[in-house]
Amino acid sequence: MGELDAAVVVDLPLRGEWTVERTPTHRIPSHGTDLFGQRFAFDFVRTDHRHGFHLHPAGSARLLILGGRTRDYYGWGQPVHAALKGEVVRVVDGVPERARVHVVRETWAALRNTFATRRRLDPARLAGNHVIIRTDAMYALYAHLAPGSITVRRGQGVAAGTEIGQVGHTGNSTAPHLHFQLMDSAAPDESSGIPCAFAEYLVEHHTGWERIERGVPARFDRIRSVR
């Protein structure tokens, strides 16, 4: 696995079933850029069991034409948990959330933000509401949280598994999801990414669920927390 061989092992920051939309097992950098410490970042979305990739109860054609209410997306409002113990060093809340998701508009907004931040990286513009937790010289970023959902404050010590907020649709987001990454600085615009693996989770196969330990999920894997 190359660079991922030295991955730091952390807990899965979500509970229940999720689909891995972006992962460094698919490509490095996982988000197409090393900017903002994203080299080994993950995006997690919640999908249903229909054939295809459905984040919302509505059909694909309806979503493409009319969009969908943000709060109706399966992942929206789901709790986010600290992946390892540490100290909260940054909390950004109050970034507004768009009430509806429209694919064309969200994609255009994401592209616009990306080009804008190449000139001047703005953590709030990219990450929306977010939390950064320091463990020794390593920093974990939890991004795109729902406004008003963050339950921790700067300077607070947290244990692994502590609920820190809820999945939302703020910042550079095309649909409600959790963006998670490890980095070597509390300032994302100055940081480099750190690879990580997850201590344990289940991954779905045609024959059932397989338990994985110290693993890095593949793109579009449907995974389930053990806890």
Predicted pLDDT at 114: 57
Closest CA to 9 of 197, 154, 192: 197
Q: Give the tokens for residue 67.
A: 């969009």
Strands 42-45 and 17-22 come out as antiparallel
Predicted pLDDT at 111: 60
List of residues 6+ apart from 5 with CB closer than 8 A? none
Angle at 27 between CA 37 and CA 171, to 5 degrees: 45
Distance CA(179)–CA(64), nearest Å, equals: 23
**Domain boundaries of the chain, sorted by first residue:** 2-224
For each successive 10 residues of the chain (227 residues), what is the average pLDDT?
A: 91 98 97 93 96 88 80 97 98 94 71 55 86 97 98 98 97 94 93 98 96 98 95
Q: List the CATH code of the domain at 2-224.
A: 2.70.70.10
Q: What's the predicted TM-score (pTM) here?
A: 0.94
Asked whether the beta carbons of 166 and 79 are under 8 A apart, the reply is yes
Residue 76 CA to its chain's centroid (Å): 12
